[in-house]
Every structure is written in structure tokens, then in C-alpha cells.
Structure 1
Amino acid sequence: MKTILITGASTGIGRATAELFFARGWNVVATMRTPNSAREDGRWLVTRLDVTDPASIESALQAANARFGQIDVLVNNAGYGLVGTFESMDEARIHKQFETNVFGLMRMCRALIPQFRARGEGVLINVASMGGRLAFPFYSVYHATKWAVDGFSESLQFELAPLGIRVKLIEPGAIKTDFYDRSADFVHDRSLTAYNDLVDKGMRRSNAFGARGASPDIVAAAIWKAATDGSARLRYPVGSDARGLLFTRRLLPDGVYRSLIAKQLLG
């Protein structure tokens, strides 16, 4: 029986993924910063893990290995969005965004790779975003982290494939999760009046776009496919918006694409 470890499994994509793999007979290590679960089952382990805290990572892996013997698949799902005007963001907020979305993900990979390398197999699944290959207004630092995850994962695939370790990138479009409300960190200094109208319009339209997003279940299904298809495929766009926008981004010249996005979100 195989074992999957998922970060950020308390809600949204992480929770949906944990439930799907559990329903299909896998051992599940559902990790979160504040453990909370009423389920009692030998195949279900909930444990504390904060990707910004190396000690909690080590403790969670020890608990997982003690319960299940090994981990076969890692899903790096923990993350959040820093949103707003870049000029309003201080160094601490920017560092926190990278610490969670990039360095935390790297810590998890570094912690699991030795285990996978020793066995000559394993799957690293990084939940990125369509925002790792295209961009929208007022998401500059968030996009920077997701573009970093994209480049990191593509390069890492070259290193690990000869060792039997597969690297996967999940690229969701708009998904109905806490990303657009509770999990978002919105920053805008209203005294920077030149931005106010743009921010009001852009965030209203962006949030409306998110409210029409797909269920986290479709991302969980893509993660299942990435974990089990046995292929060397790297990228898994999820949702019609992600597939459509990524195709449009490749097809159109930069200037035309930027004008299209500006018109829809700021025009």
C-alpha cells in the first residue's frame, strides 16, 4: 500500500487531495500547521507541519515513517497569495511569501529526496499555478514565487529523473478555495492615490473571476493522475481557464496578450 504526504491539507486543494487518495485506498499523511481531524483510521495520519519550520518537517516525517514505513509521493500544496500594489509591500511581507511558497517547498523536497533516491523511486508533486507561466495585475510577488517554483521544478526534473524520481507541476486556474479571501494577504496603502481606482477595479474583477472557479476536486484528480500515471510528463494544467489562458499566452505576441489582460481586469 502506498503512502502520500500532503502539506497544507486542512482545507481546499490539500483537503480534497487527502480525501481522494484515502478513498482510493492509500495511506494518507495530512499535514497542517494546526492539526485537526475527527477521523480515526490506521491509514489516516494528521500531524503538524509548517513548511517554514524545519523542526516540524523533521518531526512530521519521523511520524509518517514510523506509522507507514515510507513515503511514496510528496504533494507540496502549502501556500498563500500576497496580493496588492508592490509599492505598498514591505520587506517582511515579501520574505514571508517566498519563505512559504518557495523556500518551504524546497525544504520539503530536500527532506524527501534522500528517501526517494535510496529506493530509486518516488514522486514530487509541486502545486504551482497557471500564474507560474503568465501574470495578472496586483499579483507581482505571488507570481514571482510561482514562476520560481516552475523553474525550480523543471530543472529538478533533469537531476532526479535518472534516479527514478519523477517531478510534477500542477497548474490550477481559478479554484474555489480560501485563496481569494481568508488565505489571501491583501496589501494596499490608500494614501498612494494614483493606484486606488485601478486596485478597486482590478481586485473586484479578479475576485469575481475567482468566485466562478472550479471545485478543488478537479485539482485533486489531476494530482491523482500525476502521482499514478507513471509518465515523465511535467506540467498538468487544471481547469478550462488555465488551459485556455496558457494556450492564448503561447499563441499571442506579448503586447497583444498584455492588452487583452489589461482590458479584462483594468479596462
Structure 2
Amino acid sequence: MNNRKAQLEAFNRLLTIMDELREQCPWDKKQTMASLRHLTIEETYELGDAILDNNLDEVKKELGDVLLHIVFYAKIGSETNDFDIADVCHAICDKLISRHPHIYGNVTVANEADVKRNWENLKLKEGKSSVLEGVPKSLPALVKANRIQDKVAGVGFDWEADNQVWDKVMAELQEFKDEVQAKNQVGMENEFGDLLFSLINYARFLKIDPENALERTNKKFINRFQFLETKAKSMNKNLRDMTLGEMDALWEEAKSHTH
């Protein structure tokens, strides 16, 4: 399984196929980095779904799709003599070595927190103007909030204990409730954002990934609602014609049949 020669042969096979497709396939010929971009994002989300489902066979397939895209971008880069797959590999190798002085240098670390702190400080030394510079603008807001908090924590800007974060959650909840009572739409939206941000921060302290947690809840809700739909259909009933009480009864049944 860990035969390096076989691994390199497999990667070489992929590079050869990429060369052939770029030269001979009408679809592959016309692709650009811009045209591939949205497809790459989709493939990454598909990989994320497979990981959440713990479907390792699907993870393997989706990793192949993502790897194909990496090879595709490198192939396009080589055609303009900007970079090729070797340059891509060397660039990440060089970065990993420079960012891990506790492995490849004489720096000593006590724990994972030290590693993360060193990582962010090294990035600033490399010319980054802000620790938040590496957070992609197009990240979904929930993921972005988590990454922002993680990154600033890496340079020591963080709460000291989880009870302080919980107090912040409760304070934000009260501020949100105050705006709801005042029926202030702009204020409600602002405070709701603050409340979500503080909850995401609390999740981080508890080592909960908020995106994964919410997606699992989404999947659970979908499964239960689809059970409800199927059950109603088997009873020759239309959801629109059912009372809320009837739907609630089916929902409780769905909870016992789905996870």
C-alpha cells in the first residue's frame, strides 16, 4: 500500500493521460483556469460531503477528481511556461519546510498551540500584512468566521477560558432579544450576526467544527422530512392538506426511524 515506486508510477500515468487529453479531447483543449474554477469548487464540496458521510470509497473517488484539477491547472501553467507540476510540488515542499522549523530547524515547541502560533508569525515574516490575509473572501460566512477566529487565536488574540466565551454568547443573545423587542430590523440583523459569531467562537473552544455540525443537522432534517413526505404519501395524504398536528405526529415517528 505504501510502495513509493507504485505511487509514482500511478501519478506518472495521470500526468500522461492529462497530456493526451489536453492534446486530443475537444473539451479538455478549450478549458482555462477561469472555466475550471467553479468546477474545482464543486469537486471540493463533493469531497466534503463524502468525508461527512464517512464514505471512504467516495472520498477516494473525490480525491481523484480534485487531484485531476490540480494536474489540469499545472498543465495549463506549463503551456505558458509559468509553472508546471514540479514547480507546484517544490513550492509546497519549500513552504512546509520553512513553516516547520520545529522539524527542520532548531525551534522547540510544547504543543499544537505553539505550532499554530509559530505558523502565523512565520507568515507575517514572509511579508503578509495581516494574519487574516489568507482567509479567502469567497468562503461561506460560517466557515469564514471560524477561520478568522482560528487565525487570530494563532497569534494570541483569544479568550482565556470557555466560560468567558459562553458569557459573551449570553450577552449577545440578550442584545439580540432587545433589538427584537424594539422591532429594529437593522439592529436585529447586526445582533444576530454577532450572536452567530460568538456561538461559532464557543464551538471552537469546545473543538466542534460549526460547519460540520450544522451540515449534519441539515442532513438529519432532510432525512426526517423526506420520511414524513413518504409516510404521508403512503397514507394518500398531501402535506399541504394536513394539519400541523398530523405533521407533528409523523415528525415524531420520523425521529425514531432516522438519525
Scaled by the length of structure 2, what TM-score is found? 0.28
Identify the structure with the greater helix proportion. Answer: 2
Report which of the two structures shows the higher radius of gyration computed on alpha carbons: 2
TM, length-normalised to structure 1: 0.27
